[in-house]
Structure 1
Amino acid sequence: MLTITFYFFIAIVVVQLSYYLGIFGKFAFGKPQTIEKQKVPVSVIVCAKNEENNVKNYIPLLAEQDYPDFEIVLIDDASSDETLEVFEEFEQKYDNIRLVKVENNEAFWGNKKYALTLGIKASKKEYLLFTDADCYPTSKDWITAMSSQFTEEKTIILGYGGYERIERSLLNKVIRFETILTAVQYFSWAKIGLPYMGVGRNLAYKKEEFFNVNGFIEHIQVRSGDDDLFVNQAANKNNTAIAYHPDSFTYSRPKKSYSEWFTQKRRHATTANHYKFFDKMQLSIFYTSQLFFFLLVILLLSLQFQWIFVLALLATRYTIAWIVMGVSAGKLKERDLRIWFPIVEIVLIFTQINIFITNIFSKPVHWK
């Protein structure tokens, strides 16, 4: 029985190395990205619900972008605070701001996709660039960096949306590592030609892509997924590119408590259940192999079965994974996380187990 377990462990290590080297390595060891300035007309779309403090701080950063042809579409999704009033002030101050006021609709109450659809229809530009109300770009060239990846064929651009760094916070390191791992996954699969998701904190696509799939109609009943479910449906190897130049990044403030972040990740996990079969399978295989890797290491070492080979495989897997994630973290300007990789990976694995079990017994709450 132990021999079979040992061979199963070898198979798990092979699976893990296949992901890290064969797939994630496509992004980690790819060439640095350059920016070739485009002049495509861009509508920056921001949907907000009860975000008055964030929009006060971040909308001016969008309005001050150094780009020749863009507008900002601000969508107030029936906010109960002063978000709408703040938007109206910006509309008066900036000529290129367009305001969309969304009233509660009984059929679509609390559904962000309904509000976004109204904003997309109100936009006047051919290319759409999305970010969240609590996000901000890293430079005045954010629109330039994201739009630079558009070509005649590439009409969906996946960007990176990171989180601010908080010193001396293990939770912050776990959140940022999970964000890096997610980005490495969807960037790498897109480079292979199998894009499966993007993040609404930093996502761009040509407006015709939205109407080609009838917008969000196929998953309108799912409260979340205006970003990843749309990409999962509309993206393919021919129309999708990635943007990872540092000027293309956006950042937002991370959750400060484990319970808030845990609730957020529960929503994301529920949305992933609606991915295409292959995408669900490849994600399941990766995360399941991660879990089995650690469990089998503990089992085999505790029983001292083939312990030299187990230690050798453990070291090999960790070295390869550490290098790939370390190089990727450097590309995404998250270098401080490299030394924390062994710790945050384990915390993340057991968090994912907890999410899986919790979601079996209760449904998470979605858009405000």
Structure 2
Amino acid sequence: MGFLDIVFYGFVAVVIIQVIFHVFFFSKFAFAKKQKVSQKNIPVSVIICAKNEAENLKAFLPSVIAQYYPDFEIVLINDASKDDTLEVMEHFSKAHRNIKIVNVKSIEAFWGNKKYALTLGIKAATNDYLLFTDADCKPVSKQWIKKMSSHFSNKKSIVLGYGAYAKINKSFLNKLIRFETLVTAINYFSFAKLGMPYMGVGRNLAYTRKEFFNANGFINHIKIRSGDDDLFVNQMATVRNTAVCYTSGSFTKSTPKKTFDAWFKQKRRHVSTAKHYKLKHKVLLALLYASNLLFWILSILLLTTLYKWKIVLALFLTRIILQYTVMGLSSKKLKELDLIFFIPFLEIFLIVMQLTIFINNLVSKPNHWK
């Protein structure tokens, strides 16, 4: 058996793996029915942890304050900020009685650790239902609290939401950031729909105080700088206690990074937490990434050599059509349809970046929380 024979059979195996992921995993979210929202009016504590976020709080906090919801408080956590973050929080709290401030001073044992600050904020919260977002996030509608909290029930104590990034016209970096965010969301929504929830994003995440204390807070991963969102969900989420929320108006929208270097550093921190996921999740995610990488490498090699090109082209198009179908339906749900045309280019670039990030994280540790 020659080299190209081995490459060909490897390509066939990779395409089969890709088809399995798209048909049995990602289709769970892509073809999911439209969600119905039932008004519950349960008391909710919105928790926002901020470190040097004075300007973002001025810009985005009013959209949280203006939510149409009968019973909610806002817990603002000042995590040892060096700018005017605390003063801005105090300004808002004087005008709105449902705002509570938790001022966290840096201590040596937990310096730069967002989880310590979040723990103090959660303990200070009045209500049993907690909804998390970031200081640079804006709910896309005044129904955000209502729609996220509507998925809580006697059985569902964790709700995974979508945290989008704002669009910037004529910016390739912005498209890449939004594409990576879309792909990540499709992954964790699909896995959750399949009964294997493995992560959520702190820009739009909800869970109960009871779930937090059942986990002993973040104690299992308190020494890991990142992961207050995905590692907590990975530890506690199950098929029974986890719901997903993708109804229109339930999203948050964040300010994206403006430079490639800033985004690269941010992704290094995020990717560094994945090695702490449960083994089954790590295996599946590694298989997904490896099959994506090999799909492009092997297809390009086979098509440029014209080795059994008709079969290779048919397999290539099968995977591409499946991907466009699944991502198209998912993008429509998540209001990201403008990215669909650029899928092949963005996917290849993202695969290369993820490989670069993985290698960099092996060489050196990413920076801590701000």
Query: What TM-score bracket applies, with the shorter chain setting the length?
Result: over 0.9
Cα separation, 1, equivalents of 2:111 and 2:347? 38
CA distance in 2: counterparts of 1:348 and 1:322, whole angstroms:
17
Residue of structure 1 equivalent to 2:61? 59
Which whole-Å CA distance do the structure 2 matches of 1:192 and 1:16 have between them?
Answer: 17
Superposed displacement of residue 247, structure 1 = 1.1
Who is 2:106 aligned against? Answer: 104
Aligned to 2:42: 40
- Whole-angstrom CA distance in 1 between matches of 2:361 and 2:102: 35
Question: Which SS does the other structure have where 2:151 is aligned?
Answer: coil
Q: Distance in 2 between matches of 1:120 and 1:358?
A: 34
Range that drifts further, 45-54 or 26-35:
26-35
Runs of 4+ in 1 over 4 A off after TM superposition: none
| Displacement of 1:250 | 0.1
Question: Is 2:158 the partner of 1:174?
Answer: no
Matched ranges for 1:13-52 at <5 A = 13-52=15-54
* Number of residue pairs matched by the alignment: 368
Residue in 2 that maps onto 1:328: 330
User: Matched residue of 1:100: which SS?
Assistant: strand
Q: How far apart in 2 are the matches of 1:257 and 1:323? A: 31
TM-score (ref. length: structure 2): 0.98
| 1:29-52, Cα deviation, whole Å (9 max, x unpaired) | 110112111111100000000000
Match of 1:257 among 228, 234, 259: 259
Provide the secondary structure at the position in 1 that maps to 2:273: helix
Residue 11 of structure 1 is matched in structure 2 by 13
Secondary structure in structure 2 of the residue aligned to 1:247: coil
CA deviations 1:189-240 (Å, max 9, x no partner) are: 1111110000000000011000001000000000110000000001100000
* CA displacement at 1:5 relative to structure 2: 2.0
The superposition leaves residues 238-267 of structure 1 with CA deviations (integer Å, 9 ceiling, x where unpaired) of 000000012110001111111111111111
CA root-mean-square deviation: 0.8
> Which of these residues, 145, 148, 163, is aligned with residue 147 of structure 2?
145
Q: How many angstroms does 1:57 deviate by?
A: 1.2
Aligned partner letter, 1:239: N
1:246 is paired with a residue whose SS is coil
SS in 2 for 1:130: strand
**Correspondence for 2:292:** 290
SS at match of 2:266: helix
State TM-score, norm by structure 1: 0.99
Structure 2 equivalent of residue 84 of structure 1? 86
2:283 aligned with 1:281: yes
Structure 2: how far apart are the matches of 1:236 and 1:90? 37
**Whole-angstrom distance in 2 between the partners of 1:211 and 1:164:** 34
Match of 2:243 among 241, 244, 247: 241
Structure 2 residue matching 1:143: 3-state secondary structure = helix
Cross-structure match for 1:191: 193
**Structure 1 residue runs without a partner (length 5+):** none
Q: What secondary structure sits across from 2:217 in the alignment? A: coil
1:302 to partner: Cα distance: 2.4
Confirm whether residue 355 of structure 1 aligns to residue 366 of structure 2: no
> Aligned equivalents of 2:182 and 2:22: distance in 1?
13
2:225 to 223, 226, 230: 223
Of 22-31 and 358-367, deviating more is 358-367
Structure-2 separation of matches of 1:360 and 1:108 = 24
In structure 2, the gaps of 5 or more residues are none
1:266-286, CA deviations, whole angstroms, 9 ceiling, x for partnerless residues? Answer: 111111111111111111000
Structure 2 match to 1:128: 130
Amino acid paired to 2:302: L
- Partners of 1:47 and 1:363 lie apart in 2 by 23
The equivalent residue for 2:305 is 303
Q: CA deviation at 1:170?
A: 1.1
Distance 2:219 2:172 in 1: 40
